[in-house]
Each structure stands twice: as structure tokens, then as C-alpha cells.
Structure 1
Amino acid sequence: MLRPYRTFTVVPSLPPRLSPLSDLAYNLWWSWNWDVIDLFRRLDRDLWEETGHNPVLMLGVIPQDRLEEAAEDEGFFAHMMRVYQALNRYMRSSDTWFNKQYAAKFPDLQIAYFSAEFGITECMPMYSGGLGVLAGDHLKSASDLGLPMVGVGLLYQEGYFNQYLNADGWQQETYPVNDFYNMPIRLERDETGQPVKVFVDYPGHTVAAQVWRAQVGRVALYLLDTNLPENRPEDRVITAQLYGGDLDMRIRQEIMLGIGGIRALRALDISPTICHMNDGHPAFLALERIRMAMQDEGLSFHEARQLTLAGNVFTTHTPVLAGIDLFPPHFIDHYFGSYYQELGISRDEFLQLGRPPNPHPDESFSMAILALRLSAGANGVSMRHGQVAREMWRNLWPGTPTAEVPITHITNGVHGRTWIGHDMMNLLLRYLGPRLLERPEDPALWKRVERISDEELWHTHERRRERLVAVARERVERQWTRRGATAGEISEATQILHPDVLTIGFARRFATYKRALLLFRDPDRLSRILNNPDRPVQILFAGKAHPRDNPGKEFIRQIVHMARREDLRRRVIFLEDYDMELARYLVQGVDVWLNTPQLGMEASGTSGMKAAMNGVINLSVLDGWWVEGYSPQTGWRIGSGERYDDEQSRNDVEAEALYDLLEKDVVPLFYSRGTDGLPHEWIARMKQAIAHITPVFSTHRMVREYTERLYFPSAMRYSRLKDNGYAVTRDLVTWLQKVHMYWDQVRILSIDSDAQDGTPVRSVITITAQIALGSLQPQDVQVQIYHGRIGEQDGFRDYETVNMAPESPTSDGVYRYTGSIVCADSGEYGYTVRILPHHPDIVDLHVQGLVIWAS
């Protein structure tokens, strides 16, 4: 390949009067502010579409005479200055939730949010699906709330794939190359003007990465790029594709994300107090934080571990073990052999950081276990998923009841201003007022949705459905043209769908557990539903399967073939290349959002939240977020969360339930019109969905919850452990070593109480226990009564714990403990006694493996 002697960048030549356009283009604040988007569309509507809604690229290719013309247009200039001043006010304002309530208490707080993907806007294709879009919405709400946060990720040269289908309906992938210099990102440069670079050791050599910044409102997102001339060809492609390549490429990417990401922050002089791992991909960052603390502060491995884990937060996103990144031991040896020595620990100690207790010799190294072992706070992404995650990982805390496994839940949300349609947002602003933009998570504000007239809400929604139909027709015409369709077929594409027909949307990642084929369980019955001449229905499908997920691709192929049936061809449409732009059209324009995951497999899901905010009604299996979001007024549930012995029975029963709901509830309600032609009962459900789901499932609520429940407690622990030159950390490690050394001396010798059958309700029961502590002291342990009502199989149905108080020792190392419980309700009660380690600075009450129960 012929290479240039020198490279340099060329930037748009903006008339001086239009210089604010550059600042507006390079701050992704525009992606959730319609007034800025309208400004760029006003400049050249067609070019805005052609450039994929990329203002930087647009400014680079727009004809110079159009820029000169715009500079002389006083209306355009006034519009530009209005949004430019709004951006400046936004960036400078101290009137934010964090500044007003917490900045004085946490002046040094700095959060770094690590994720393998970020979905900010479609012109930055650095996302594959819900995980990345959630990360993007997280940063946007952190910006709006004024949270001191930065994001850290990888900058993919080819991003995630573009999808197209061949003549048989089989998914094909293309990987367009991203031109970073024509994207809304900029290289970070040092004081000499040179690009900021970090260097990460791989076996036998070092890999360099330069750092780019995307400005997401007030939040900087730093992205690492290894496609540099000084790197070997096989290292330049580390950041080539999101989730591309084999297992070896995956570990190389995750080393760069975690270790390289931490080093990038240091190169930028950013010292995070909290590092938030969005899923397990970035978990190697925890090891690098330990290594740096050892190097900088002279701490031992165990001291550095206790210090840094206090400042780590981990969000798990998968409800199945198959979704966890696992690396064979020889992979870890190959990539971390020298790292063992730098940390001053043995190979077995290192491997155990990512393994369950009592592993077999070939046990794989789990990124989720690594993150759990090295984090002070961990959470699932919905109430149901929190329960599933505690069940999944309870073996990491032997002897701990599942309900007490230290994994909480913070239910996902979405960024309303990104996902609510422009027309709908304007309508909401008129009725709810400007506080909607400042406090979208305030439930009281959303009660005003009832004031919106049925006619206005319905006509606003109808405009969005009309726009969706138009977009779908354009996309199908392009799809069929590319496949070599006849002129007659292409003409038919312009007539498919109807803007007045009940429209159902199903759009998501095409993993088999999401059961896209459930709707086709009985094709003839489905056909009768869709083709009722008085009450027709149409369905839009969209979604990508992972390039190596052939079963998911087969689901797409079967849907495409179903859609070719003569009785379904105008009623069922598959739209190719699902991305954020198409997602917006769908969640804003359909009437019903369909979700049919296999029960227990949906960690959260967020597309249904986006739909509900636009007045779209959810029809879903009771899983993920819908367990919390569902009510009879806001949508429909498929089944009641029942469990089945086999998949065939479950699919048969739930398909039948889905058909019944469509035939008896959904379709009749939509077509039940008043004398004014409006479906008033349907509109009432739309209002309930908007009012009850929008404030609760907002990322503003979510980020506030992360901040108050995980970030702040972690920051306080982290700060405390640094006190007195890390003396608190050293004391904690010394105590932990003592407890581990003498724990086998701790025993429960006897238990006595005045409990008896026939005890009256509200009676107080006194319990005493003789406890042998050996070389430990009463302040080293917490002795507790664990009591509650008895349920199935003689286990506790619910429980409470009461701390017991020690009295003077009865003999050498033996103490008498006393406590009392209240029998609050009638029925069969039970109690037992347990001993846990106790220390004021311990992060985890359930120190892994250290608990003694009465036997």
C-alpha cells in the first residue's frame, strides 16, 4: 500500500459569523435538543439526512455558497445565536441537582463510567444495542444532573455492522469504516499539541492508543484508538470492531478498555474516586487501580485491594451464565503472567479473583466474578433481575442466604428528551410546563397529562404513525431495489402499510430467547387477526442478530419468509439495519410495543420504556422492567409469570394468550371509536402509560439512584480508607488477616430461649447463646438472631435479624450473648443464630465465606 509522506487535517471553512456552528456540532448536547437539530436541518435538510445526522460531516461537505448565504440570513443567525447561548448557559450553569444538593458534601467526587459501547446518536455507531444505548442515556442524564462524571470506552474504526438481507432473508453484515475526523469527536492533545497516548503491555510488546473525546453535554467521553502506525497490524485492529473477532480479540479489547482506560485518565490528570463498570467487559480496570495504588502509595496488594474496591461499582446486565465473558486459564497466563509479579501475588491468587470457590484446575476466569470480588457495590438492572443475579452468584458468598447476597437492583431508565418525539414533547411542554425539562423524574408533574385533550394527543400520535409508515415504505423500497426486485414489486413497496391501521412494533436484538417467532406459532390465526377487513392490523419487525448467532439469523429468515405469504405480505414487514434512528421512528410511531422474552431471560429491556413515553402501549411477558411497569391501566401482560416444565408447553400457552389478548382486548379497544371518531378508552391508556411510566423509568431517576445508593457510599468509604496516610486501610487489612487466621476457633456452643408452642402474638422472646470466640474479641464479630415465619420445606418464608449483645465472658474466650425478638404475626415461627465478622470499615458484611450458623 502506498503511504503518504505526511498527514494533516482539513476543517470546514466557516464564515466568521457562523463560527458558533462548530461548537454546536462538537457538543453532542445537540442530540437531545431539537432546537439545535432544527438549526442544522434548516441549513440543508437533504444534506442532514444524507450525512446520517452528523453535523460535523455536514459542515465539511456543504457548499461554501450555502454557508455564505446562511451567514447573511438574519433569521438563521438569530436561531443559531439562540441555541448557542442556550448551550453556553447549560455548560456554565451551577444550577444543577448535584451542585445544589451535594457538591459541598462531595467536593472531590469524580466518577468514571466504563463501558464497551456507547449509544449517543446514530452518527457515532459505537453501540450494538440496549447496553450501549443505556450507557449513552446514562451520560446524558449525568450531564443534565450536573454529576462530575467522565465516560471511558473504545473508539471502533468499523463500529458495529450494518445489516442487509439476501434474497433468502439471511442476514449479511458489512462494516463501513468510520472517519473519525468527520465525526463529533476530537483528539485529546497535550501541552505541546501532540495527541495524548497511553501504552499498554501485551505479551512481548507494548501497544499504543491515542485518546479522543466526545463531549456529551457537560460530560466528557474518552475513547481509545489503537489504529496507529507505530502499532503492529494485529494490534491496530484491537479497536476495529465492537464485539468482533474471537475470544483472543475479546480479551485484548477488554485489556485495552480496562487497563488502557485507567491509564488514559491518568494521562489526562483525572483521578476518579468511583469507577463504574457497565457490565463485566471493563473489569480489568480494578486490577490496574490496585497496581497503581501499590506503585503510588507503597501499599501491599491486599491493602490496595481494600482501598480500590471501596471505589468500584459494578452493574451486571445478564441473567444467564452463558452471557458472561469467560477466559481459559492459559489465556490469563499468556496476557497477565508478568502482571502477577507486579501485583506481588501468586498465579493461583490471581486466578481466584475471577473464579468461584473451590474451582477445578481448568476453571475459566470470569469477568463478572472479577468485578464482583473487586467492587464495593453491585447491582442488577431491574427488581426481577436483582433477584436472579443474587441467585446466580450466591455461591461466591457461601453460607449467605440468597436474599442477603450483596447485589442490589437499580432499574434501568431511558433519557426522555432523546426518545420522546418532537411533536409529543411540544405537546407535553404546553401542558406540563418547562419544569418537565428540569425534573422529568417528578411524578407529580406527570399527573397533568390527564389535562391533555384526547383530540390533541391522538392527532399528535397519528402524525407520528404517518411518518413511520412513510419511513418504512422508503426503507422497504431501498431493500427490495437492492435485492433486484421487479418494477412492479418496487411499486408495491410504496403502497405497503396504512397510516390509519393498528400498528404493532417488535424491534430488538434478535437473540432466540426474545422469541420473535412466538407471534407466528399459529400463522393462520395470526392471518385472520391481521386481515380482518373491519379491524386490520400491521406488524413491523426490526433487529440484528450477532454475526455468529446463526439461530438468531434463522429467526430473521423465518420472519422474512412468513412475510412473503400472500395473506401476510402487506401486513408483516421486516425493516433492515435497526439503529437508533429507526428505533426512534418505531417507538414514537407504533401503537403497541410487543415483547415476548422467555421468562427470566430479560434482565430489563428499555425499548418498551421509550415506547410508553410516547403513548405507545406495551404488550409484554411479565419479565424485566415490565414486572415493575405493568398495571392494567398502562398495558397488557402475556401470562402472569407462570413457570413451565418445558419450552414447548410455555410457547404454546403464551402464544395462545397473545392471540387471545389481540382478539379480545387490544384490537377491539383500538377500533372502539366515539361519535367524534376518537378511541377514547385507548387514549386513556396512552395517558396512563405516559404519566406513570415516564417519571419512574427515566435515567434521571436511575442516575440519581446510582448516585445516592452506590456512588456516595462508595466515595465516603474510599475517602475514609485514605485517611491518615492510609492508616485506616492498613488497620482494616490487619484485622481481616486476624479474622481469617482465627475464624476456625469461633463456635456456637449452645442456644436457649423461652419460646414455646402457643406463644401469643406480639410476645417478646428472649434468646441467649454461648459463643466461643477463641483469639477474637466481641468487637470483631456480630452475633445475630435470624428469625421469621416458616414457609415451604421448613425454610424461612421471610426473616428479620436482631443483633445480640455480649455479656462478660463465662470462661476463657467464651461469651454469653443475649437478644430478644417480637413475634409480630400468628403462625409457625422459627429462629436461629449466626456469627459474622464485624468491623466499622468493612465494605461487605458478608465477608466471602466467613459465617457460622447454629447447627
Structure 2
Amino acid sequence: MEPLRQKLERLTQNLWWTWRPEVRSIFRDLDLELYQRAHRNPISVLRQIDTRQMENRAMEVDVPARIDRALRQLDEYLHPVTTWGLFHAGPLSTRPVAYFCAEFGIHESIPIYSGGLGILAGDHLKGASNLGVPLVGVGLLYHQGYTSQVLDGTFWQQDVLEPFDLKDLPLRPSLTPRGEPARVGVEMPGRTVWAQVLEACVGRVRLLLLDTRDPANSETDQALAARLYGGDQRMRIEQELMLGVGGARALRAVGITPSVFHLNEGHTAFAVLERARHRVQADGLDPWAALKEAAAATVFTTHTSVDAGHDRFPADLAEEHLRPLAEGLRLPVQDLMALGRVNPADHGSPFMPTVLALRQSSRANGVSALHGVVSRAMWTSLWPGRPEAQVPIGHITNGVHVSTWLATEMDQLFEARIGTNWLDGMVHPDLWTRIEGVDSAEIWEIKQVLKARLVRFIRGRVAATRAHQGLPPVDPPPLDPDALTIGFARRFVPYKRPDLLFTDPDRLAALVNHPTRPVNLIFAGRAHPADQTGKALIQKVNRLLEDPRFRNRIVFVENYNIHVGRNLYQGVDAWLNNPVRPLEACGTSGMKAVLNGALHISVLDGWWAEAFDGQNGFAIGSGESHADPEIQDRRDAEALFRVLEEEVVPCYYDRDPAGVPRAWVKRVKRSIRTLAWRFNSDRMVMDYVRHCYLPAAVAASCQMPPA
């Protein structure tokens, strides 16, 4: 009989467990304290737990039977009879999509992500896995991870490195077709940097990660990919070369010949040059024919509406680093530089990977309908003489991986009321009409359970933060479990306006401390380690929270990550988003909250501009913008207070004799019915397959010269 520990180890070797709460619960039940201390990582739990203790505890909580069931389910998942991809993405089966991204947010215990881009990438892989779409992820293994956010006694964000042990990740060396460990080299100025290729299984999808801790590298080059978004401009461009050029070479090294390159944000743009270089060197293609062929097979997704969010490398730095690729392509280096300049003839202007990706892709898209409009306006100069509406940048609105973010109680509700196989059909609108037949009291009761759990979680986090800051505990403990609870969590930058409600402290105090209709507000979020303005915003908000009027009603949760986010999305009553329109490209956090029965309160920006129907949430303002930013801020602040005071709060506290807010739950039902089918990763990946991957695969095959 296979030993218990060996079965558990088998269960941990595929990241399928990250979206299966019943599997994670096995490891949680073995040792709850260890599970929490190990960042909820089953592999780390197994490495640390005593075998005898584990076996004794396993019998107490019926673990053996649960393990056998989970292993059977995993085997069935990995060897399906049929999938959506089998019928709709068949041409990709022998030549899959290669999905390049600088970060992947799979689980909080794998800290190679910083925020929305990485979490979206993780959800994309999971969605492709569920659908059976042939796809392989390509990224870098940041062995020092990102950073943990710690607020000091002055509420200033400190960025603490927390290197993780690779033994805690289900990574294994990727092998060449000969069975040897794969290794790739990338030419940098004056040397070659080597990377070992490791891989993880994300369900049915492979994720290749390049690790620069190769013995042949100098100490400096071994640290090249140590940290996500660390270092100066030189390190940044070299990381991007390792990701794009090294990633494309890694695919070849392990025997994968992709039909399509999907470049997820500009950091990955160099992959398309490497694809063309290889064709020139290996197959003798004319350089421009190779570039044309590579572009035909490339899909590019841009994720930001903010100009500063796009890398700009000084001309001399970019030229120095592009020279090896130019030599491989047998082109003057200035020809490659021109591909990445807004004005190709301006030799002194910076090189922009986003511009390279836009020029060298057959299909480009923003991540919401409004973001598509904004992106066409941003980049219209790349297509001189073409009307803005005809700029070739479309949109595919983001979606979220439902199973990753959904509370178990909501899943059980959907299974009982929507159907046992609801996940398989969730992209069909008709399925969600069944939510209207669910008793409002049942939904309300579930939300109260989830909110009570959230309040316990937040109180513990706040107490721990104040303890290490040397501040006294909040007494009585913060947050009223019976109060309307609104969440706000995102990257702290000025355009997201985390301090908008604090522009009128007296009005805010009256709102949250109403004697019969109180409001809880939960804030969370980080600033980029180099962003002093964002850190100042965090400090400003936290200092305001020391006002006695706010201390029990408004909290800031330290170290926003996947784990914190999951708790927030599942437990809040409503989700708040108040960016400067139209700078929010999409904003997927609100989608996660909606799936868990929360209502979205937002400026008509990002995904909400195409989602709000007047009754499935709440809108801040009318979507019009003033030319003066200060006036716009004042308008939006007034609109936000009014929608809270006149719509949100009254609706939440209007109760029937049984204490159920019927009008509120009616909106929740409408929200789920109209939004759940659209804003999920299954629909998103399906859109990419239909509108990007298959057309690009066909176009690329047409570009190939005859044998």
C-alpha cells in the first residue's frame, strides 16, 4: 500500500490544488497552525510536519479517504474524455500558444507576482487549463520573490524581502527531447547570461520559469532575476531580454514549437525578435520576411492606460543590448531600434518595448472596451494618416478564475440552486437566471457568515500590525459585524484615489458612525517599492485612521496579497473603486467580489463601464470628465458621498420583518445573473482563442515560405 506521505506528495505536485479548497483543507486539517505559518502551502506543510503526528491526525479527520478521492479527481482532470479546447482549439494541439508574462500570480505561497498583471496571468493559465486549451506559460523565477509590505511606526511602507525555498514549490527541471536538463543562454553586453529552465504544472498547463542562478554566471548575473521589478534600467532591460529571448529559446530547448506567441504586456516584447532571429539563422529566411512571419504569429495585450506605465529605455542602453539580436537578424541595429520608437526617424528618442510589441503583432488588444478606446487614442501616432477609430487595437475584457476566488459557501449555493455542473456551463447567460429563484434569506445568511469570518480575520491582522508598530490595540476591536462593510484594495497610486473619501473627513465620520446605519470601510494595497508618492498616500490614509472617529470603523490591512484579497472579496458587502476615468484599464478585483455576492460601487471606468446596467450595482457619477483634474476630483467625491448616503446605505438597511434587506439582495441576484457569465476567465480565454489565437495561427502558417 502506498504510504500516506507519498500520496500527499503526489497531490502537491500539480498546482491544481490552488483552486481546490477541498484539497487545501486536507493539509489545513493536519495542522492548522503549521498550515498558516507555511503560507498555506501544502508542500511546506509536508516538509515540516512530523510523520507520526501526521498519521495520527490523519485518522482523526478522515484524511486517507479524502486523499484517495482527490487523487482520483486529479487523474480524471488531467485525462479528460473531452474538453472545450478539443472541439474549439484543435489546430493548437500540436503547436500550442506560448503565453509570456513578467509575473504569474498562482498562489500566495509562490511570490513571483506583484499585483493585477500577475494575478490576471495566473487566472489565464487556470482558465486555459480548465478549458483544455493548449497553452504553455513562460516567465522568470524570482528566487527572492517580490516584497512583503510592513508599515513602520510612522505608517511608512517598508519593503521586506522574504526569499522562499524552492523546495516548497512543485518545480522540476525541464528536459530537452534527449532527456537532459534544459539550459539557455542570452547574449548581454560583453557576456552571455545562462538560465536553467524549471517548470511547474498548473492543471493541464505547463509553466516554464527561467532561473539565472546558473554556476556559469557571475554573482551579479545569478542575481539578475532575483527580484521582480528590482534594480535600475539596465537590470530591467536585461530581465526583459532574459524573459523574451531566453523564454523563446527555452521553448525550443524543451521541444515546444508554438504556433502563437501571446505577449502579455510590453515587458515580453523581445520574444518576437528572437523568433524572427531563429528563422533567419536556422532556415535562411530574409530578415524582413522573418519579422513579418513572427509578427503574424504574435498577439499582444496591453494592460495600462497610464503613459508612465510603459517602459522607456535610453537610446544608448537599448542599442547596446539590441546589438546581438540585430547581428542575428543580419540587420543594422538602428533598424531594430526604429521598431521600438514612436518616431522611427528620431534616433535620440527612447526605445519602448510596448511600441515594438504593437508594431510586431498581428493582433493587439486592451483589457476592457473602454481601455480599447483609450489605447487607440494613446498609440494613434504609430499609424500616421489612419483615423483613430481604425487604429488596430481591439479589446478583450479580462475575467477572473472563479474557483480561485469563490467562497466555499457560495460554491455550495450555486451547486444546489444553479446546478451541480454549473462551472462547466457558467459562460451561458441562461444558466444564471436560476439565481432569481433562490430565497433572498438564504443568500443573506451566507453573506453574514462570510462577513463574520472576514471581521475575525481583519481584527487579527490589525492587532498584529499595531503590535509590531508599537501602537496600542484598538479598543473595542474594529469593525461591527452587523454594519455595511465596504472594501477597497488595489495598488496605491494617485489616479486610483484611495484618499477620495477623506477629502471631507467630517462627512465621512458622519457616514461611518451613523447611530442606526453604520458603515465599515476596509482599505488595503501596496505601492511599488520605488514609488514614494504611493507610499506617501498609504501613510496619509493610515494617519487619518488614527482619528478617534475612524479607529473602530475604518481599517487598513497590511501586506495585500492573494490571501488577503481572497478574504476581502468573499466577505465584504460591497466593493469600491473610484479611479480617475479613464485610467483604470480594467480592475478585476470587483469581479471577484461580485461572484461572492457583493455589489460593486464604481466610477464608470474599466470593466464597470460595460457592466453596469443601473440595477446590478452602483455608479459614481455619470461618466463625464472635467478638463480640470481638481474640479473632477471634487465632483467625484461629491458623487461618491451621495451614492453612499442616498442609495447604498438606505438600500442595505431597508429590512423586512425578518431582518432581510430584500431590495439589496435583489440587486445582488441581478449582479450575479448579469455579470457572472461574462467576467470569468473561461469566457476571456474563449475570446482569445476565437479572436486571437486561431486567426494568428492560421495567418502565421500562410506566411511560411514553400518548402
- Give the TM-score, by structure 2 length: 0.98
Deviations 1:625-645 (A, max 9, x none): 000111211111111111212
How far apart are 1:18 and its partner, in Å?
A: 4.1
Alignment of 1:668-747 (within 5 A): 668-722=650-704, 724-725=706-707
Deviations 1:540-588 (A, max 9, x none): 0000001111111111111111100011111111110000000011111
Cα distance, 1:341–1:100 mapped onto 2, change above 3 Å: closer
1:179 to 162, 165, 179: 165
Alignment of 1:84-95 (within 5 A): 84-95=71-82
How far apart are 1:397 and its partner, in Å?
A: 1.1
1:383 to 369, 386, 401: 369
Q: Within 1, Cα distance between the matches of 2:672 and 2:694?
A: 31
- Counterpart position of 1:481: 467
1:546 aligns to 2:528 (yes or no) = yes
2:610 to 609, 618, 628: 628
Structure with the higher helix share, 1 or 2: 2
Counterpart residue identity of residue 396, structure 1: L
1:24 aligns to 2:11 (yes or no) = yes
Asked if the contact 1:474–1:494 (Cα under 8 Å) also holds between the matched residues in 2, the reply is no
Alignment of 1:430-469 (within 5 A): 430-469=416-455
The count of residues paired between Structure 1 and Structure 2 equals 707
Alignment of 1:223-262 (within 5 A): 223-262=209-248
Q: Within 2, Cα distance between the matches of 1:220 and 1:108?
A: 14
How far apart are 1:72 and its partner, in Å?
A: 5.8
Q: Within 1, Cα distance between the matches of 2:346 and 2:126?
A: 44
SS in 2 for 1:656: helix
How far apart are 1:356 and its partner, in Å?
A: 2.0
Counterpart residue identity of residue 501, structure 1: A
SS in 1 for 2:198: strand
2:29 to 28, 42, 47: 42
Counterpart residue identity of residue 263, structure 1: R
SS in 2 for 1:19: helix
Cα distance, 1:217–1:493 mapped onto 2, change above 3 Å: farther
1:613 to 589, 595, 617: 595
Cα distance, 1:718–1:579 mapped onto 2, change above 3 Å: same
Alignment of 1:119-268 (within 5 A): 119-189=105-175, 195-268=181-254
Asked if the contact 2:186–2:194 (Cα under 8 Å) also holds between the matched residues in 1, the reply is yes
Asked if the contact 2:23–2:70 (Cα under 8 Å) also holds between the matched residues in 1, the reply is yes
Alignment of 1:52-91 (within 5 A): 52-69=39-56, 75-91=62-78
Counterpart residue identity of residue 66, structure 1: Q
Deviations 1:259-309 (A, max 9, x none): 000111111001111010000001000110001111121101011111111
Asked if the contact 2:176–2:255 (Cα under 8 Å) also holds between the matched residues in 1, the reply is no
How far apart are 1:494 and its partner, in Å?
A: 6.8
Q: Within 2, Cα distance between the matches of 1:214 and 1:147?
A: 17
Deviations 1:728-779 (A, max 9, x none): xxxxxxxxxxxxxxxxxxxxxxxxxxxxxxxxxxxxxxxxxxxxxxxxxxxx
How far apart are 1:522 and its partner, in Å?
A: 0.5
- Counterpart position of 1:371: 357
Q: Which moved more, 1:356-365 or 1:58-67?
A: 356-365
SS in 2 for 1:327: coil
Q: Within 1, Cα distance between the matches of 2:60 and 2:571?
A: 34
Q: Which runs of 5+ in 1 are unaligned?
A: 1-13, 726-855
Asked if the contact 2:43–2:169 (Cα under 8 Å) also holds between the matched residues in 1, the reply is yes
Alignment of 1:288-367 (within 5 A): 288-367=274-353
Q: Within 2, Cα distance between the matches of 1:263 and 1:182?
A: 27
- Counterpart position of 1:665: 647
- Counterpart position of 1:99: 86
How far apart are 1:45 and its partner, in Å?
A: 2.2
1:579 aligns to 2:561 (yes or no) = yes
Asked if the contact 2:89–2:133 (Cα under 8 Å) also holds between the matched residues in 1, the reply is no
Cα distance, 1:306–1:194 mapped onto 2, change above 3 Å: closer
1:645 aligns to 2:627 (yes or no) = yes
Q: Within 1, Cα distance between the matches of 2:661 and 2:58?
A: 48
Q: Which moved more, 1:30-39 or 1:186-195?
A: 186-195
How far apart are 1:208 and its partner, in Å?
A: 1.1
* Aligned sequence identity (%): 44
Structure 1: 4+ residue segments shifted above 4 A: 70-74, 189-194
Q: Within 1, Cα distance between the matches of 2:530 and 2:292?
A: 39
Deviations 1:800-838 (A, max 9, x none): xxxxxxxxxxxxxxxxxxxxxxxxxxxxxxxxxxxxxxx
- Counterpart position of 1:597: 579
Deviations 1:129-177 (A, max 9, x none): 1100000000000000000100000011121110011111111110111
Rg larger in structure: 1
Alignment of 1:500-515 (within 5 A): 500-515=482-497
Q: Which runs of 5+ in 2 are unaligned?
A: none
Cα distance, 1:107–1:425 mapped onto 2, change above 3 Å: closer
How far apart are 1:497 and its partner, in Å?
A: 1.0
- Counterpart position of 1:283: 269
Asked if the contact 1:378–1:408 (Cα under 8 Å) also holds between the matched residues in 2, the reply is yes
SS in 2 for 1:255: helix
How far apart are 1:192 and its partner, in Å?
A: 7.9
Q: Within 2, Cα distance between the matches of 1:358 and 1:292?
A: 24
SS in 2 for 1:724: coil
How far apart are 1:67 and its partner, in Å?
A: 3.2
* Higher RCO (CA < 8 A, seq sep 6+): 2
- Counterpart position of 1:108: 94
How far apart are 1:73 and its partner, in Å?
A: 6.6
Q: Within 2, Cα distance between the matches of 1:338 and 1:694?
A: 48
How far apart are 1:457 and its partner, in Å?
A: 0.6
- Counterpart position of 1:810: none
Cα distance, 1:309–1:187 mapped onto 2, change above 3 Å: same
Cα distance, 1:515–1:361 mapped onto 2, change above 3 Å: same
Q: What is the aligned-residue RMSD (CA, Å)?
A: 1.6
Q: Within 2, Cα distance between the matches of 1:511 and 1:395?
A: 27
Asked if the contact 2:480–2:553 (Cα under 8 Å) also holds between the matched residues in 1, the reply is no
Q: Within 1, Cα distance between the matches of 2:340 and 2:477?
A: 56
How far apart are 1:39 and its partner, in Å?
A: 1.7
SS in 1 for 2:223: helix
Asked if the contact 2:99–2:262 (Cα under 8 Å) also holds between the matched residues in 1, the reply is yes
Q: Within 2, Cα distance between the matches of 1:520 and 1:586?
A: 21
Q: Within 1, Cα distance between the matches of 2:7 and 2:423?
A: 24
Q: Which moved more, 1:620-629 or 1:186-195?
A: 186-195
Asked if the contact 2:651–2:661 (Cα under 8 Å) also holds between the matched residues in 1, the reply is yes
How far apart are 1:454 and its partner, in Å?
A: 1.0
SS in 2 for 1:365: coil
Deviations 1:387-407 (A, max 9, x none): 111111111111111111111
Q: Within 2, Cα distance between the matches of 1:660 and 1:332?
A: 50
Q: Within 2, Cα distance between the matches of 1:310 and 1:376?
A: 5
How far apart are 1:22 and its partner, in Å?
A: 1.5
Counterpart residue identity of residue 573, structure 1: V
How far apart are 1:442 and its partner, in Å?
A: 1.4
1:408 aligns to 2:394 (yes or no) = yes
Asked if the contact 1:15–1:68 (Cα under 8 Å) also holds between the matched residues in 2, the reply is no
Asked if the contact 1:355–1:366 (Cα under 8 Å) also holds between the matched residues in 2, the reply is yes
- Counterpart position of 2:510: 528
Asked if the contact 1:70–1:77 (Cα under 8 Å) also holds between the matched residues in 2, the reply is no
Q: Within 1, Cα distance between the matches of 2:171 and 2:332?
A: 42
